[in-house]
C-alpha cells in the first residue's frame, strides 16, 4: 500500500464537511456501520463553514469539584499539559474529555485558553464534551466543538495527559487524525488514512450521478429511478 501524502490529504479534508468524511470512511471500509464519531448534538463556536482537521493532543479534565492534589502539583500538571499541547505532529487539534460528562460545569475553553492554544501552540481548534464560554472573544481561526456553554470555569483542572479519551462516544488516542465541524467530529481509523483520498473520489463520483441531474432542475420520476439505480450500484 502506498504511503499517503499527508499534507495533500489534510488540504483535501479542509474542503470537506464532517458528514462527507464519515461517508468516505464507509466507502474505504466497503461497508456501513462505522461509529467512530460523536453521538450527540454539539455546540459550535466558530465560522459556520470552518473545519477542524489535525492530529489529536489528548487530555482529561474535570471542574465540578476542587482538586485534591496539592496546589503545586496541580500547577505542574497544567504546565505539563501546555508542553504536551505544544508538541506532536502538525497540524494539531486539542481533544479534551471532561470527566464530569453531561453534568460538567467548569469551562476549560474560553478567551484565554483559546488564544493560547491558537497563538502559542499553533493548534487548529478544540473538540471536547465539556463546557466553553467567552463566545464573543474566541479568536477567529480557532473553532471549538463542545458539549455545552456556561459562564464559569468552576474548579476545572487537568487529570491526565496523552491518554485515550472518549468524547460523546468517539474514542480518540493521542495522534489520531480528527475532522470536526458544526455537525460533530470523527476520528479517522489509522488503516483508512491511506485509502481516504481514493474513497473521497469514489464518493463524489457516486453522488454526482444523482446530484448533477437533480441539481439542475426538475427531473421526471422515470429518469430519477434510472439515476437512483446507477447511484445504488456506485455507492457503499
- 137 DSSP 8-state letter: G
Domain identity same for 108 and 219: no
Our CA dihedral for 123, 139, 165, 66, rounded to 10 degrees, sits at 120
Confidence of residue 234 (pLDDT cuts 50, 70, 90): confident
| 110 lies in some domain | yes
User: CA 203, CA 205: separation in Å to the nearest integer?
Assistant: 5
Residues 84 and 116 occupy one common structural domain:
yes
Percent of the chain with pLDDT over 70: 99
Claim to verify: residue 135 and residue 41 sit in the same structural domain: yes
Residue 219 region by backbone torsions, left for phi larger than 0, else alpha for psi between -120 and 50, else beta: beta
- Report the C-alpha gap between 141 and 125 in whole angstroms: 8
Asked if 110 and 199 sit in the same domain, the reply is: no
Residue range 199-212: mean pLDDT, rounded = 95
- pLDDT tens for 211-223 read 999 988 899 999 9
Residue for grid cell 468517539: 170
pTM score, whole prediction: 0.94
Query: What percent of the chain lies above the pLDDT cut of 90?
Result: 94
Domain with 129, as residue range(s), is: 37-188
* pLDDT grade for 235, boundaries at 50, 70 and 90: confident
What is the total residue count of the chain?
A: 236
Model confidence at 4, pLDDT cuts 50, 70, 90, reads confident
Residue 224 in this model has a pLDDT that exceeds 90: yes
Give the confidence band of 236 by pLDDT, cuts at 50, 70, 90. Answer: low
Q: What is the pLDDT of residue 232?
A: 87
Whether the bond between 206 and the residue before it is cis, its omega within 30 degrees of 0, is no
- Model pLDDT for residues 142-198, shown as the tens digit of each residue: 999 999 999 999 999 999 999 999 999 999 999 999 999 999 999 999 999 999 999
Q: Which of 26, 23, 33 is nearest to 207 (CA)?
A: 23
Measure the CA–CA gap between 89 and 56, rounded to whole angstroms.
Answer: 9
Between CA 222 and CA 224 the distance in angstroms is 5
Check: CB of residue 25 under 8 Å from CB of residue 187: no
CA dist 71 and 117 (Å) reads: 23
> 52 exposed, middle or buried (CB, 10 Å; 0-12, 13-18, 19+)?
buried
Domain shared by 146 and 101, yes or no: yes
Average pLDDT over residues 14-28: 97
Q: How confident is the model at residue 200 (pLDDT cuts 50, 70, 90)?
A: very high
Structural domain count of the chain: 2
Q: Does 65 share its domain with 163? A: yes
H helical segments located in 175-220: 196-214
The reply to whether 7 falls in a domain is no
Q: Which three cell numbers stand for residue 154?
A: 468552576
Q: Do 119 and 161 have their domain in common?
A: yes
The whole-number average pLDDT for the span 41-61 is 98
C-alpha cell at 9: 490529504
Q: Going by C-beta distance under 8 Å and a sequence separation of 6 or more, which residues neighbour residue 41?
A: none
Cell of 110: 474560553
Amino acid at each position: 500500500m502506498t504511503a499517503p501524502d499527508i499534507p495533500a490529504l489534510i488540504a483535501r479534508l479542509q474542503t470537506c464537511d464532517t458528514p462527507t468524511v464519515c461517508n468516505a470512511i464507509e466507502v474505504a471500509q466497503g461497508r456501513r456501520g462505522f461509529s467512530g464519531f460523536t453521538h450527540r448534538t454539539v455546540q459550535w463556536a466558530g465560522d459556520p463553514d470552518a473545519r477542524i482537521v489535525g492530529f489529536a493532543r489528548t487530555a482529561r479534565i474535570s471542574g465540578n469539584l476542587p482538586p485534591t492534589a496539592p496546589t503545586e502539583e496541580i500547577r505542574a500538571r497544567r504546565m505539563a499539559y501546555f508542553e504536551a499541547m505544544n508538541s506532536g505532529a502538525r497540524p494539531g487539534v486539542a481533544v479534551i474529555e471532561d470527566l464530569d460528562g453531561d453534568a460538567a460545569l467548569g469551562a476549560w475553553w474560553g478567551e484565554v485558553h483559546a488564544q493560547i492554544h491558537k497563538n502559542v501552540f499553533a493548534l487548529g481548534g478544540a473538540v471536547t464534551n465539556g463546557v466553553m464560554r467567552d463566545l464573543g472573544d474566541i479568536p477567529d481561526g480557532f473553532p471549538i466543538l463542545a458539549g455545552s456553554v456556561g459562564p464559569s470555569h468552576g474548579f476545572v483542572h487537568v487529570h491526565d495527559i496523552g491518554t485515550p479519551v472518549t468524547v460523546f462516544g468517539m474514542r480518540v488516542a493521542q495522534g489520531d487524525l480528527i475532522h470536526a465541524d458544526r455537525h460533530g467530529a470523527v476520528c479517522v481509523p489509522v488503516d483508512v488514512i491511506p485509502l481516504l483520498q481514493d474513497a473521497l473520489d469514489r464518493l463524489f463520483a457516486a453522488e454526482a450521478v444523482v446530484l448533477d441531474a437533480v441539481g439542475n432542475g426538475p427531473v421526471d420520476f422515470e429518469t430519477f429511478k434510472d439515476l437512483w439505480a446507477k447511484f445504488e450500484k456506485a455507492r457503499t
